[in-house]
Homo-oligomer: A and B are copies of this chain.
Amino acid sequence: MLPHLALKPKPVEVPQKENTIRLASCNGGQSLVPGEPDGPCVKTDIPGPKSKALMGELSKSLFLGSIQFLGDYDKSIGNYLVDADDNVLLDTYTQISTVPIGYNHPELLKVFQNEHNLKTMVNRPALGVFPGVDWPKKMEHILKEVSPGLPHITTMMCGSCSNENAFKNIFMAYRAKTRGGGDFTEEEKQSCVINQPPGSPKLSILSFIGGFHGRTLGALSSTHSKAIHKIDVPAFDWPIAHFPKYKYPLADNCRENVEEDHKCLAEVEDLMEKYKKKDIPVAGVIVEPIQSEGGDNHASPEFFQCLQKICKKNGAYLLIDEVQTGCGPTGKFWCHEYFNLECPPDIVTFSKKMQMAGYFQTEEMSPKKPYRIFNTWMGDPGKAILLEAVLKVIKSQNLLEQVEKSGRRLLCGLHDLQSEFPCHLNSARGRGTFAAITAESPALRDDILKRMKKKGVQGGGCGLQSIRLRPALVFQEHHVDIFLDIFREIMKEIK
């Protein structure tokens, strides 16, 4: 039976209307990153002639399919990405959501002018065996400072590796429970080396349609956003449930959306039962707090609360994948803080804006024998130094507050736009500046993104037909206004 689900989940906040006058021209001295231009400036097609020439060079070494243009990262500053042809773009996509405090932030440029930090980066140790003498302090004063209530930390290099190793942690903890504290059997030791049970057991991770958790083979088996990521690649037979698909505006569709939660949660329970019977029990569940690549799909706090309860009831561990949502873009450091979970999730993975990657975990999750969760580098201390500087800036400039402010203005503007262009735009949604709006068709979405670039806004898509906003944490109200003004101009052209 489903845990209790309130009939009226608190909807994702709809902000109050605010003034949306364009402030670009009165930006003098107010930017959080000194030296930002007043607004975007486009001089050529994008990619322009210089980008095209460089792409010609690059095509000798690699397949170019996904490359849009070449960036000039010496000239880029704050929220503005400058390309090879000196076009200045307001960046709302930030290198797939990885730039936390803008380009060339002075505090980041400073860190490797310190000799100790420089040496830390150049002499990259195998952190699992011979970490540097300052590693304990770094763990304590950087990662522990932002812990989502979980005592243990595992450092890694990227989101995929973090999820893959979190899966391994889940499998190990699950089997330890089954084993009841006993040691490995000889049969387990011998069979695992040749990929056979009982040493390599049939266990699964439940994931959701629309979820994106990375592209290595394990992570990809839990990723279900687009076929092009997965086609031709063998996958594990793991259960996949539907993630809620809400009707917007949320306030007008409470009952339907609660029913949608119910349906999806019931499916999770059914799948757990089904895979238990198939003898591939669900050891863990992986979920994004907001499905990002899959289309900025939100679910209610109650959905996540119930999901956690179902996991506990069924002995499965809950992994919240905060790779894209972590480090502040939603206005809280971790997006799942919005969900008022009864207790922290079992594992929280991070990467992207955090510069370094890895996960926080419960003590139960930590394997009790060495070398089980291990690899050569176990992350990169050079990235910890960057993260340290990022966290200091977030604190000193109150960037989470800034994100909330900018986010309110942004969501308000998106709501205005969908009211003005109801045939073309719908489902404005977001937390902080982590926001999206859906176009009436994939073709219209692509057209809007193309037109945005022409007018100096670098934007990104997600799902089939949504536009995703992933600005840096230094995206201020005047940047919001520039973005909205350009968006409005485009919609008028289209209309």
Which positions in A face B, CB cutoff 8 Å?
A: 50, 54-55, 57-58, 60-63, 65-74, 76, 81, 83-84, 95-96, 98-99, 103-105, 108-109, 112-113, 115-116, 118-126, 128-133, 135-137, 139-140, 143-144, 151-154, 157-161, 164-165, 167-168, 171-172, 174-176, 184, 188-190, 192-196, 199-204, 209, 214-219, 221, 224, 226-238, 240, 351-352, 355, 366-372, 374-377, 382, 386
Contact = CB atoms under 8 A, between A and B. Distances in A.
Contacts of A189: 227, 231
Given A158-B161, A158-B375, A238 B124 contact: no
Contacts of A238: 195
Contacts of A131: 58, 67, 70-71
Contact of A65 (B81, B216, B224, B369): B369
A160 to B, nearest CB: 6
5 contacts: A57-B136, A58-B135, A98-B124, A184-B227, A196-B237
A260 B144 CA distance: 53
A274 B172 CA distance: 31
Given A68-B129, A157-B161, A200-B231, 6 more contacts: A73-B120, A159-B375, A195-B238, A196-B237, A228-B369, A352-B376
A304 to B, nearest CB: 23
B231 A133 contact: no
Given A66-B129, A200-B234, A153 B109 contact: no
A217 B214 contact: no
A195 B240 contact: yes
Contacts of A200: 230-231, 233-235
A227 B199 contact: yes
A116 B154 CA distance: 32
A219 B370 CA distance: 20
A224 B194 contact: yes
A72 B119 CA distance: 10
Contacts of A195: 221, 230, 235-238, 240
A123 B76 contact: yes
Contacts of A224: 193-194
B62 A154 contact: yes
Contacts of A137: 57
A190 B159 CA distance: 25
A61 B153 contact: yes
Nearest to A63: B366
B171 A233 contact: yes
A374 B215 contact: yes
A203 B382 contact: no
B157 A158 contact: yes
Contact of A104 (B98, B123, B184): B123
B366 A233 contact: no
Contacts of A171: 232-234
Nearest to A199: B231
B231 A73 contact: no
A372 B232 CA distance: 10
Nearest to A184: B231
A81 B124 CA distance: 12
A116 B66 contact: no
A95 B126 contact: yes
A98 B236 contact: no
A168 B61 contact: no
A14 to B, nearest CB: 30
Given A116-B74, A122-B109, A216 B215 contact: no
B112 A126 contact: no
A169 to B, nearest CB: 10
Given A171-B234, A230-B193, A153 B62 contact: yes
A368 B171 CA distance: 36
A20 to B, nearest CB: 29
Contacts of A65: 367, 369-371
Contact of A61 (B152, B176, B231): B152
B371 A66 contact: yes
A230 B196 CA distance: 10
A43 B37 CA distance: 58
A112 B104 contact: no
Contacts of A219: 216-217
Contacts of A202: 234
A373 to B, nearest CB: 8
Nearest to A117: B112
A366 to B, nearest CB: 4
B229 A371 contact: yes
Nearest to A190: B227
Contacts of A104: 119, 122-123
Contacts of A230: 192-193, 195, 199-200
